[in-house]
Amino acid sequence: MTILFDAPPTTNSTPRSFGSAPGAEAELSFRGQPGGVAVGDDGTVWVSDPLAGIIWQVADGRMIPVVGRPERGVDPPKVQSMRLLAPSGIAFSQDGTMYVADPSGHRVCAVAPDGLVRVLAGGANGYRDGLGADAQFRYPSDVAADTEGTLYVADTGNDRIRRITPDGNVTTLAGSIYDFGDGRGPHGRFRRPGALDVDADGICYVADTGNNAVRVIAPDGDVATLAGSPPDGDQDGTGADVGLRWPTGIVVGPRGDVWVADHGNGAVRHIDVGTGASETVLRLDGPRWPVSLAGRDDGSIAVAVAELPDVHAPRGTLLVIGGRP
């Protein structure tokens, strides 16, 4: 399920939901839960389907398979010959290239605007900096692009944040052992970082999933904690008093604010980057959990939500929830 809501919300705002028209909902079908979500320059929403190995384009309430290999019967079969094993995080660079974190393949792939799919870096389970296929990742789950075309990768299994230059050279920005701590480079420590985004100044924001925290990485690799702490919780607050449970998605909005998919609490939270104060802006009911986030130029945020009314029939819905009128 993909939810869109306008940002920033106000306490007296009235949610609106719609698919192709106000009040309508568009059903989206996945083999499992959705993975990453991204929004193209034209406002098109893209959602990865890890179990099916497909990246879908969502338009007018319809899902069109664009990257990967769909099962027989999927129409139209507008897909590429290269197989994505379990696509997760998605990001777009300014030249329109789509980048995909493919954790089961331990790699980051690039999809050109003309549809050509290639491996940018990685391909083997391990940890090593290097160029292209010489680099190694361990279950990378998310990717983000800055204004210069440099990629940032949440190398989840290695508890590190990696950088990839446009020519495919991989280096480690921060992280080392499975732990929690602020500091520069290897002294800044993570536990299974699950998602990340980067702002216009090259500052990286990380959903440190295993530490129930939001971390900030300066361009020189200095790591600080913005909100949350290893003990999980479910409350708004400031800094370490913010209670998160298994945050799996994060996005920097066009105004420089940060939004977090608080997966374990079924919530989306807004974090003030200046103070570390949080505000719960969306609370999902039932068996529904936010997975990942993406921002749009108009200030709205796309939220990929896992919905499991029946373990054998996961489904999704395209909604829009308005904040300010």
What would the pLDDT profile of 25-64 be if each residue is shown by its tens digit? 345 566 677 899 998 888 788 889 888 888 888 776 677 7
Range 238-264 burial, b when 16+ CB lie within 10 A, else e: eeeebbbbbbbbbbbbeeebbbbbbbb
For residue 159, give both structure tokens: 């508890």
Question: What pLDDT digit, counting tens, does each position of 100-117 carry?
Answer: 999 999 999 998 887 778
What span, in angstroms and rounded, lies between the C-alpha atoms of 68 and 77? 10
Residue 12 has pLDDT above 50, yes or no: no
Looking at 13-22, 191-200, 215-224, 289-298, which range is the least confident one?
13-22
- Distance, in Å, from the CA atom of 95 to the CA atom of 100, rounded to the nearest integer, reads 15
Average per-residue pLDDT in the chain? Answer: 82
Rg (CA), the chain: 18
Backbone dihedral region for residue 152 (phi beyond 0: left; psi -120 to 50: alpha; all else: beta):
beta
Structural domains in the chain, sorted by start: 2-321 (2.120.10.30)
pLDDT given at position 21: 29
What residues contact 186, with CB distance under 8 A and at least 6 apart?
172, 174, 175, 176
Closest CA to 229 of 215, 213, 218, 250: 213
Give the strand pairing for 315-321 and 2-6. parallel
Sequence-separated (6 or more) residues with CB below 8 Å from residue 147: 94, 200
212: Cα separation from own chain's centroid: 16
**Which residues have a Cβ under 8 Å from the Cβ of 152 and sit 6 or more positions away?**
143, 144, 145, 146, 161, 162, 163, 164, 173, 196, 198, 204
For residue 313, the Cα-to-chain-centroid distance in whole angstroms is 24
Residue range 147-174: average pLDDT?
A: 97
